Structure 1
Amino acid sequence: MAFDTAASLAEFRPVTELDEDDDAAALLAALDGPALLLDHNRTVGLVTGEAARLLALDPLAPQVGASLAMVLGRSRLLPEARAALTNLALASAAPACRLVDAAGSGLGARRIALPRRRIALLLQPDYAPAESLPGWRTDPLTGLCDRTSFRAALVERLAAGPGALGLIVLDIDRFWIVNDTLGPQVGDQLLATLAARLRTALRGSDLPARLDGDEFAVLVGEGTAMDELDGLARRLMDGLGRPYLLAGQPVTIGLSAGIARAPEDGLVADTLLRCASSALHAAKTAGKGRCAAFMPEMHARSETRRRMETDLRRAFALRQFSLHYQPQVDVSSNCLFGFEALLRWQHPTRGAVSPAEFVPLAEEMGMMAPIGAWVLATACKEAAGWPAPIGVAVNVSALQFEEGDLMAAVREALSRSGLAPHRLEIEVTESALLANPDATMAMLRQLRESGVRIAMDDFGTGYSSLTRLQSFPFDKIKIDRSFVSGARGVAEGRAIVRAITGLGASLGMRTIAEGVETLEQLERVRAEGCTEVQGYLFGRPVPAADLPAVIAGFASEPMPVE
């Protein structure tokens, strides 16, 4: 790469004049390209225009007379690359080395000795893969810098002096689904392809990195106003979220992003990383596919979430979960016919944790398949000890259809427990039928053919569709408690209960009303034709050890009537 040497010499005046007896030919030959000239003290005597461009040096900032460390500190080179170039200048390394700049591009550097103990450092663009460059820690899968190198670059930028910079952290939403459904090799292919897109989408002043797993970061050197950072983050989310062709099929992902800024959110590297991470967690908690800027109150929420994630993993490993069971009663015969299994978590210090708090988190963490399999196995094992024909109803998460082999989990639970299949009822919500309706329906048919009963849970609260009820012969429709309690208005709730029970009767399906707490509510749902009931009127959820007494109580006392 040639340049006008005379123009460069005029632009960057040497700190000392060239003597008549200097080997000018050697000097000019050495400077036939982007180069730095250093005197015997390794003070910068000349920086060519092309070298200044490659290193992204400010042409107005004084370079001549400055130390090499000072000049390199203003460059786009990362800390490890600056150290390698300094070693090259001090003759403590081989006469050539390869570096990497903040954009992830490679640079070649060569040392040439000159008269009067001077040296020239020649630079040459070298776009070799970053992982092949010495003195530079990279992520082996993506070729981006790793967390250690990224943190070092962030420390260096912050130490360079006052000035704004931005930090964007991106995370793939539910990346574990790709790993679980397509395999870890396809997951790695996705990460590598995404990293390549990320690198090409950024400017030369931006530094991308893979922090951990499916979490990436960008150190933004220009355009650090919040609206600019937000715009960049959203463009990255859109571009990185375009479909990928993996294993011969298109794969679509979503991303969330968190933003932090210096100096507003801190001047310490670890603080900024925590702020961006807290903002990312806030974005994911708000519903994924979102971008959030850091706010101080996010720290507390983020720390609470992190602790909850750790505690949830520990709870599963240490078997802190248990099942409680709530009675289900037949309206016409006044008989107890089954129990619904309800998951409970007794935290060692917090006490009972609401399922509404930990179940969504378990779904987001990809833990519902193993937790759901444990629930099935435990419920079947405990139900096998009850008097026949009392059965058990188990609610299945929509994600168990997507990420786990539900059929295998059911078969294993029945086989190990010896429970007859007709005594197990699987409750499935309408949302489980939306993501992949054909595959879900096929699995439900397999379950039903094996003798397991299937119930549509919380019918009428979400995406109710008569087509779904007609396309699959559910055994039962479960009426949500909001229609029973009067939360939607007594008249409206009663009309909806009447419509659902009528629909169930016409399709040959039983209907069960949940949340029945008073005799008045019982009479209403009975009058509207509901065939089964469940609620506090008949008993609160209790652990398995208390069930013999509950069963005996139903055998000796009639069901409540008005």
Structure 2
Amino acid sequence: MPLKGFLSSISGANSRGAVSKLSDAEKLAMLDDLESSGLGWFWSCDPQGNLTYLSGTIAERLDLPLDEIIGQPLSSVFVSADRDGRTKSLALMLGTHKSFSGFAVRAEKRPEGAVLRLSGQPTFTGNTFDGFRGTGWDITDEYFREEETARLAKFDSLTGLSNRHRMKGLIDSTLTAFKAAKRSCALMMLDLDKFKHVNDTLGHAAGDELLKQVSDRLKRSIEVECEIGRLGGDEFQVLIPDLDDRGELGEIAMKIITMLKQPYTLEEGRCVIGCSVGIAVAPHDGVTMDEVVRSADLALYAAKNGGRGQYRFFSGELENEAIFRRRLEENLGEAVREKQLFLKYEPIVDASTGTVRALEAHICWMHDQRGEIDEEEFASILDGSSQVTEVGTWAIREACEQAIAWPESIKVAVNVPVALFASNDFVDSVSEALTGTGLPPHRLELEVSEAVFFGDTDAVDRTLGQLFKLGVRLTLDEFGSGYSSLAYLRRAPFDAIKIDEKLVEEAEQHDSADLGLIRAIVALAGALEMDTIANGIESTQLLERLKECGVKRMEGPIYSDPVGRDVVEKELVGDNWKITPSGDRIKRSKRRTVYRRINVIHDDHSYEVVLRNLSKTGALIQGLDDVPKGTQFVVDLGGGQLAVATVIRTNGDTQGLEFEQHLIDDGSGGLCTRNRVSPYALSAAGAPLAALSPGSYHKMQGGALGQGSVPQFTYAPQARFEAA
């Protein structure tokens, strides 16, 4: 019996140490008991590595019939338990004819079964190798504990995504390898919008479940090869190798934003969040891990400050923009005290007659260095600021003070931030504003978002009841944004429902389904004797559809952008301000003033000109005299952005250009090129390998432009002066 061989080995060992007092029969019985218990077991193989003995107990545990496996190669019966395949194979270890220990294996036919640890000792007769004899023991529980510990060291325990430590290692190793191979790599930084609000109101259990659903959606929304990680809290990273096309990256980012903003169903309730995305691309925006992560962080910061729910590519100007923005946030309290804030008003119009019925107040800032900061940018600065209560209280008082001079038929609407609504003295501040200015309460409309209902239920109901007793009008703002519940309308004394602007946008893009939802909201409001307001209207076609749905009041660029106090007072003379909607007004309002110096390259010479206009398809430049139609330029927009363009119109010192490849959205209302000059190409030409600078590229070390070249065009005197 092969087991007697183990007895001989043990006896030999004992003869070199303590003298055994057990008989051979007792020793065999002890080994039999050990095998039967399953605590230890034995195996042996011949010189060819074929299994000659295996303890029956372990064969039963592995569900391996002994008669089928005896005589089979040991290396085919057992395989390494290392999932990554980095450990030597069992066949290789047997082939060395040397002892081994602690080798973890699984049954080849039972890959998900028990995990065993093998030790083996070669046996010889003289110099002749006879095979191996060995022992083994079951380490299944220990192995899975170690495996789980190793997994937790690399992966987020909540979502299963890579954790911060693993992402850091992956980004570092990928960028190092890609730098050597001259390959590109994109990094996206994601931050959830409104997640803290869900966590605070629905609880941490709901927040955890929400994060799990977010991670599942992220996996489904990104179809290219990538690695997704959760850094902690509501921050995520996405590493995408071999992609620098900003058109494709923008599409991926927009798909992520769209999927993550869809409603979530949790045990604690239904909620909607958003997502902001910052994008950096190596080597354009950085070569090392620290550079690329910092660039993506700055882009994310810019995306969040741009109004959230958008993506932003990194550019060299973002750092200065971020520094200045932080200063603005710090100076906000001083702006209130120094009376630098002022209000603009957006008309809310009767849909049937075009008559202005109310004016919605928007807060702007006349900054001593920056100039006027409009209502959209100011709102993003105020969001989350510690001054939100102070600024909101000021806005209500200021609006009441100005509205007292308007005709009795005109109301003033003021948006109430959640933090202001939840403050202890909110109702008192509203009462003081009305009393101090003499404005009748029914002429003040307070717009309250659905987010206030996620606070203390009793406190919310108490505040709404007190406002109702004051006599002010209440509008439920952003209805349809995702939190919507009929319970809000039953509980609160609202006078109007303002349909969420994003729902209005969707109705314009996807027609029937979303229009049906708007019809349902209008019908609901009618049954509850409430008005309906649609805002953000830009097209005549959408305006007519909303009228057909029965929406009673409208506002948006199609009627008017927010206007100053002087315009309001002028228009309200006569107590009958009517506005005719116009699509042309939209085009004017969306046109951005472009006035900056750029370079255009023709042959081997670079010219500095003034960029007057920019669109996806072309640009208007000024500064060169008598450039013929058909001339081709390379337009240097900075930061490695080169666009080939052809002159299609020319008039003296002004040329209209058409781009060979259209520009794309940069995620925040701007434009950028799809691709950029590769720093690897510049490095090959003699420039040091580094992230792209924001300046023009013809001046970089290694470039030949302007070195002895002869210009074919002359500068127009006035334009040359302007560009200098």
Greater strand share, structure number: 2
Task: Report the TM-score, using the length of structure 2 for normalisation.
Answer: 0.38
Q: Bigger radius of gyration, 1 or 2?
A: 2
